[in-house]
């Protein structure tokens, strides 16, 4: 049973890779100068994102195009350099509900020619902490399909060099729904691991999560959500040998959905040539795996052969 479950996981991976994978890293600054920040909805005061370096960002709510934001952050100045003139600059359009960009929170820190309505704030490097609040809005037309890392504020050095920055990931409403479901599924994965669910199922679950992330990066929110929804099963297999009646129906659904979504993605994105070559490579790998599996278990070999035939039919071989 364990060998069979492992083979099914391999089948899913080989089927899923018919779509193109893209990984990303969300830019949120380095934490060397801007040591913490929080993003709030300027209309409601709701916390959206909070970061305290070197920790990871805590995302409470996604950020959509047109959002009115209040960003409060701390710039840490470890030493005094009286001749070093630093400045902050925002790229956000001015808020429609606030008539200024800046609000000085740490009133004991001296600014140079301070104008809260200017896009730029200047100050000499003096040891201490400068705490500022920035008001602005995300451009309504910023996002078309894929998430966008939007640079909202930059800290510049005396020669105009970039010292640090804050970037926010902006998504569509559909992508926001995906992120909400993803957080739920990741929390579910943690609970599955803690409760001793069968390793084969955990591996399968993780593969589907990764593929959904790849679909989301490509701007395919509907496909990403559909993949996550296939993980909504009522009974997860326990640590004992996996029962076919519980596990394999779910696997069959995942494989079928992945194949259909992959084909729809090929048609919708116009990247036929690249994806065809990718599938052809996977078919070659699958042929070798099928041959090796035939020496171990005829059932596994037959299953692999079936997936190989399905991939061939998709590309017309």
C-alpha span between 30 and 168 (Å, rounded): 13
| Least confident residue range of 88-92, 139-143, 256-260, 311-315 | 256-260
Q: Which of 173-180's residues contact partners 24+ apart within 8 Å by CB, and which partners?
A: 173/64, 174/221, 174/222, 174/225, 175/62, 175/143, 175/147, 175/216, 175/221, 176/62, 176/64, 177/221, 177/225, 178/212, 178/216, 178/221, 178/224, 178/225, 178/228, 179/59, 179/62, 180/62
Confidence at residue 70, expressed as pLDDT on a 0 to 100 scale: 98
Contact call for residues 106 and 129 (beta carbons, < 8 A):
yes
State residue 107's pLDDT score: 87
As a whole number, mean pLDDT of residues 296-314 equals 58
Q: Domain limits of the chain?
A: 2-23+173-315, 34-170
Of the two residues 220 and 73, the one the predictor is more confident about is 73
In the sheet that 120-125 helps form, which strands lie side by side, from edge to edge?
120-125, 81-90, 148-156, 162-170
The number of beta carbons lying within 10 Å of the beta carbon of residue 199 is 16
Mean pLDDT, to the nearest integer, of 73-98?
A: 96
Most confidently predicted of 7-11, 133-137, 144-148, 303-307? 133-137
* Predicted local confidence at residue 294, as pLDDT: 59
Q: What local confidence, expressed as pLDDT, does residue 192 receive?
A: 87
89-126 pLDDT, tens digit each: 999 999 999 999 999 999 899 999 999 999 999 999 99
pLDDT bracket for residue 21 (50, 70, 90): very low
Contact present, 101 and 80 (Cβ < 8 Å): no
Distance between CA 280 and CA 272 in Å, rounded? 12
Give the chain as a DSSP string: -HHHHHHHHHHHHHHHTTSPP---------SSSEEEEEEEETTT--EEEEEETTSPPEESS-B-TT-EEEEEEEEEE-S-EEEEEEEEEE-SPPPSS-S-SEEESSTTSPPBS--TTSSEEEEEE-SEEEEEEEEEE--TTS-SSS-EEEEEEEEE-TTS-EEEEEEEEE--HHHHHHHHHHHHHHHHHHHHHHTT--HHHHHHHHHHHHHHHHHHHTT-HHHHHHHHHTT--S----SSSPPHHHHHHHHHHHHHHHHHHHHHHHHHHT-HHHHHHHHHHHHHHHHHHHHHHHTT-HHHHHHHHHHHHHHHHHHT-
Residue 311 is predicted with a pLDDT of: 57
Q: In the structure, what pLDDT confidence band is assigned to residue 2 with cuts at 50, 70 and 90?
A: very low
Quick one: pLDDT at residue 14?
41
pLDDT of residue 9: 43
Q: How many CA atoms lie within 13 A of 124 on its CB side?
A: 8
Q: What is the pLDDT of residue 288?
A: 63
Residue 191 has pLDDT above 60, yes or no: yes
Q: C-alpha distances in angstroms, 215 versus 219, 243, 254, 274, 307?
A: 7, 30, 15, 16, 21
Kindly report whether the peptide bond that precedes residue 270 is cis, defined as omega within 30 degrees of 0: no
In this model, does residue 255 exceed pLDDT 60?
no
Q: Is the pLDDT of residue 10 over 80?
A: no
* Cβ-Cβ contacts under 8 Å for 256 (sequence gap 6 or more): none
Q: How far apart are CA 57 and CA 143, in angstroms?
A: 21
Least confident of 28-32, 187-191, 197-201: 28-32
pTM over 0.85: no
Is residue 197's pLDDT more than 90? Answer: no
pLDDT at 55: 86
The residue with greater pLDDT, 228 or 237, is 228
Average predicted confidence (pLDDT) for the chain: 76
Mean pLDDT within 42-71? 92
Task: State which fold the 34-170 domain adopts.
Answer: Immunoglobulin-like (2.60.40)
Residue 285 — very low, low, confident or very high, per pLDDT cuts 50/70/90? low
Percent of the chain with pLDDT over 70: 63
Q: What is the pLDDT of residues 119-172, one digit of tens each?
A: 999 999 999 999 999 999 999 888 776 788 999 999 999 999 999 999 999 988
Find which of 82-91, 225-234, 257-266 is predicted with most confidence, using mean pLDDT: 82-91
């Amino acid at each position: 049973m364990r060998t069979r479950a492992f083979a099914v996981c391999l089948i899913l991976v080989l089927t899923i890779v018919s779509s193109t994978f893209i990984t990303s890293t969300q830019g949120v600054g380095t934490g060397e100068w801007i040591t913490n920040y929080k993003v709030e909805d300027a209309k409601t005061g709701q916390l959206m994102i909070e970061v305290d370096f070197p920790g990871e960002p805590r995302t409470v709510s996604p950020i959509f195009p047109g959002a009115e934001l209040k960003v409060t952050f701390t710039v840490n100045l470890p030493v005094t350099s009286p001749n070093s003139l630093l400045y902050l600059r925002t790229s956000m359009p001015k808020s429609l509900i606030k008539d200024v960009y800046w609000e000085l929170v740490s009133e004991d820190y001296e600014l140079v020619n301070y104008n809260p309505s200017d896009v730029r704030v200047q100050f000499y490097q003096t040891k201490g902490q400068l705490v500022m609040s920035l008001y602005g809005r995300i451009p309504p037309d910023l996002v078309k399909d894929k998430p966008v890392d939007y640079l909202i504020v930059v800290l510049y050095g005396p020669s105009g060099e970039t010292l640090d920055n804050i970037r926010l990931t902006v998504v569509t409403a559909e992508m926001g729904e995906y992120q909400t479901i993803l957080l739920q599924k990741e929390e579910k994965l943690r609970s599955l691991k803690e409760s001793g669910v069968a390793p084969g199922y955990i591996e399968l679950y993780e593969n589907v999560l990764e593929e959904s992330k790849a679909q989301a990066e490509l701007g395919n929110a509907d496909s990403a959500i559909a993949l996550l929804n296939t993980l909504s099963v009522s009974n997860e297999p326990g640590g004992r040998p996996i029962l076919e009646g519980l596990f394999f129906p779910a696997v069959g659904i995942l494989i079928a959905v992945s194949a259909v979504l992959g084909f729809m993605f090929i048609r919708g994105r116009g990247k036929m040539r690249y994806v065809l070559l990718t599938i052809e490579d996977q078919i070659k790998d699958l042929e070798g795996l099928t041959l090796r599996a035939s020496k171990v278990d005829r059932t596994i070999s037959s299953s692999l052969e079936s997936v190989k035939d399905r991939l061939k039919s998709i590309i017309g071989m």
